[in-house]
A and B are shown apart, each in its own frame.
Chain A
Amino acid sequence: MNCTSIDLKEYFFGETAAGERRLVEEHLHACAVCRDELERLRQTKAALLSVREEEVPRRIAFVSDKVFEPRWYQRFWRSTPRLGFASAALLALAIFAHAPWFQPAPQPPRQAGADPSAVEARIRQEVAGRIDAAVRQALAESETRQQQKTAELVRAAEQRLAIEHRADLLAVQENFDVLRKRMSVLYTASADLGARQ
């Protein structure tokens, strides 16, 4: 992969496919020109994002208006319970249709040793286990999201600090140059004065 074959901007905006992303990173590792180019893209984005968003002058809000409210049948048709209602209706129809041909299956003999309380305890244990697993999974996902967000914020702050640091260095250098020139002027002036005396 070379400089012309990679889409650096696509990579910068996070839209490169995972497989290709690795190839771009390998190229960046080896190519100083593309690294510089990527750094300039980061600086550009940081400058654009440094401008604060404007606050909305007035909050936008809507009040209930009969004109826009859907009718009862539209509300029912768009609602989730309609699926439940339709399922129940289909089930009832199926039961009714099959009733004349339905023969009850012979009941298996009850197992003499089966203990209902033991079965109940097992069910409770299993349900508790599943709930714990679901909670653990939700927590893990939430933590991952938080970590990603924090890392993103830290990265942005580091970039901003780096830019400011570079600008500080340049400002110091400029001030130092000015100081040096003033010293030269003073030195020249004092030398002239000494020569005249």
Chain B
Amino acid sequence: MIFREVEDRDLVVKARRGDVDAYNLLVSRWERRVFNYILRLVGDREDAMDLSQEAFLKAYQNLGKLDDAGRFAPWLFRIAHNEAFSLLRRNRPESEELVDQAPPAPGRRMLPVETSLAVAGALNRLSREQREAVELKVYQGFKFEEMAAILDLPVSTVKSRLYTAIEILKDALAPVGIREKS
């Protein structure tokens, strides 16, 4: 974990007292991660930007309802999750966004752009819920318990989603044939 001189908790306390600068500092810490989290869910940069702004605004307006100031991040991602899925429910059914892109054949080195395509293709094989579990665990580094709070699900369900997703990704991105012969 990166050492921070001022913790999120202190900034939340200040923001609750009306210190907008403290809240802006919180936003600058989390905007990139929230934007990328939403972007991977909705797949559109403009939508992701609008939803990120909306999530931060709602978080600011509801800071008083946050019970534990030290758990700002999971709470913020819960709001972002609700925003993203609200848009997805309005706009697109799940089936439309599943585009099966076959990853490059295993056994040869992938260029960076190929890796990106392979990862995008592999992630597209997942359901929306599985992809979100991977996003929260692998990219955002939340613990199972925090993921359960964000998704409002039991830990067992969260683990099950993540494990299934990882199996699919592993078969696509680290097939057995690519391993070094020793």
Chain A residues engaging chain B, CB cutoff 8 angstroms: 9-10, 13, 15, 36, 39-41, 43-45, 47-51, 53-64, 68-70, 75, 78-80, 142, 145-146, 149, 164, 166-171, 174
A55 vs B39: C-alpha distance when bound (angstroms): 11
Q: Judge whether B77 is part of the interface by a CB distance below 8 angstroms.
A: no
From B36, B52, B120, contact of A53 by CB (8 A): B36
Stretch at the interface among B23-31, B80-88, B93-101: B23-31
Q: Across the interface, do A47 and B32 meet the contact criterion of CB distance under 8 Å? A: no
Q: Across the interface, do B109 and A170 meet the contact criterion of CB distance under 8 Å? A: yes
Residues on A with beta carbons closer than 8 Å to the beta carbon of B179: 36, 39-40, 166
A-B pair number, CB within 8 angstroms: 123
A-B contact pairs, 16 of them (CB 8 A): A9-B162, A39-B179, A40-B170, A43-B173, A48-B138, A51-B115, A51-B119, A53-B36, A54-B35, A54-B36, A60-B56, A68-B60, A149-B2, A167-B110, A170-B109, A170-B178
Given contacts A43-B174, A50-B115, are A78 and B169 in contact (CB under 8 A)? Answer: no
Beyond A44-B173, A57-B49, A62-B60, 17 additional contacts (C-beta under 8 Å) are A9-B162, A43-B174, A47-B173, A48-B169, A50-B119, A53-B139, A55-B32, A56-B49, A56-B52, A60-B52, A61-B24, A68-B61, A78-B16, A142-B3, A149-B2, A168-B109, A171-B108
Residues on B with beta carbons closer than 8 Å to the beta carbon of A39: 174, 179
Given contacts A39-B179, A63-B20, A169-B180, are A53 and B166 in contact (CB under 8 A)? Answer: no
- In the complex formed, the residue of B with least CB distance to A164 is B109
From B31, B53, B108, B118, contact of A167 by CB (8 A): B108
Q: Across the interface, do B169 and A170 meet the contact criterion of CB distance under 8 Å? A: no
Q: Across the interface, do B174 and A47 meet the contact criterion of CB distance under 8 Å? A: yes
Contact with A along B35-60 (1 / 0, CB 8 A): 11001000001000100110011001
- In the complex formed, the residue of A with least CB distance to B120 is A51
- In the complex formed, the residue of A with least CB distance to B1 is A145
Given contacts A48-B134, A56-B32, are A171 and B18 in contact (CB under 8 A)? Answer: no
Q: Judge whether B154 is part of the interface by a CB distance below 8 angstroms.
A: no
Q: Judge whether B116 is part of the interface by a CB distance below 8 angstroms.
A: yes
A164 vs B115: C-alpha distance when bound (angstroms): 12
A36 vs B175: C-alpha distance when bound (angstroms): 11
Q: Judge whether B128 is part of the interface by a CB distance below 8 angstroms.
A: no
Q: Across the interface, do A47 and B137 meet the contact criterion of CB distance under 8 Å? A: no
Q: Judge whether B17 is part of the interface by a CB distance below 8 angstroms.
A: yes
Q: How far is the CB of A7 from chain B (nearest CB, A)?
A: 9
Q: Judge whether B143 is part of the interface by a CB distance below 8 angstroms.
A: yes
Q: Across the interface, do B119 and A47 meet the contact criterion of CB distance under 8 Å? A: yes
Residues on B with beta carbons closer than 8 Å to the beta carbon of A43: 170, 173-174, 178
A45 vs B137: C-alpha distance when bound (angstroms): 10
From B16, B144, B178, contact of A166 by CB (8 A): B178
A54 vs B128: C-alpha distance when bound (angstroms): 19
Given contacts A54-B35, A78-B17, are A59 and B116 in contact (CB under 8 A)? Answer: no
A146 vs B2: C-alpha distance when bound (angstroms): 8
Q: Judge whether B9 is part of the interface by a CB distance below 8 angstroms.
A: no
Q: How far is the CB of B101 from chain A (nearest CB, A)?
A: 14
From A9, A57, A60, contact of B163 by CB (8 A): A9
Q: How far is the CB of A74 from chain B (nearest CB, A)?
A: 8
